[in-house]
Amino acid sequence: MKKIDHIGIAVKSIDKALNLYKNLLELEVTGEEVLEDRGLRVVFVQVGETRIELLEPLNENSEISGFLAKRGEGIHHIAYAVDNVQEMINKSKELGIKPLSDEPKDGAHNTKVAFLHPKTTNGVLTELVEHR
């Protein structure tokens, strides 16, 4: 475990959200990606050693649409950089923490990721990220 890789924030419009991160805070916008399979547009904002991951739904079936409908915009998940996601999935099961998949999936920017169910992580959706 090295650091907080990113904090995911669910927003309705990334372009509107950048008014804060770009225009006011003058942070560097480091990357934009469209993940069709997740129904997401993603933009990263660099903050020192970590990043804010802005998540915008492409459609009503996106991975964050339920969250936005139920809770509105806000912090969606915290992601930790790990050396080996598969090992962390296995270890989490041993510890009674529920991974949302048995194997890593593709994340943004050439990463392997896994999520831990918020009901088993003190109400915080937790992501594990391995950079390839």
Ligand X SMILES: CC[C@@H](C(=O)O)C(=O)SCCNC(=O)CCNC(=O)[C@H](O)C(C)(C)COP(=O)(O)OP(=O)(O)OC[C@H]1O[C@@H](n2cnc3c(N)ncnc32)[C@H](O)[C@@H]1OP(=O)(O)O
Residues that bind ligand X (CB under 6 A): 8, 35, 38, 40, 42, 53, 55, 63-64, 66-67, 70, 76-77, 79, 100, 107-108, 111, 113, 115, 117-119, 123, 125, 127
Instruction: Tell me the per-residue interface mask from 11 to 50 with Co ion, x by CB under 5 A, - otherwise.
Output: ----------------------------------------
Do 114 and 99 touch, CB atoms closer than 8 A? yes
Per-residue b or e along 55-76, where b marks 16 or more CB atoms closer than 10 Å to that residue's CB: bbbeeeebbbbebbeeeebeeb
**What does 42 interact with, of ligand X, Co ion, none (CB < 5 to 8 A by kind)?**
ligand X
The reply to whether 8 sits near Co ion by the rule CB under 5 A is yes
Q: Which among 118, 83, 73, 124 is positioned nearest to 104, based on CA atoms?
A: 83
* Nearest distance from C-beta of residue 96 to ligand X, angstroms: 17
**Residues 63-82 within binding reach of Co ion (CB under 5 A):** 79
Q: Give me the phi and psi of 48, to 5 degrees please.
A: 60, -125
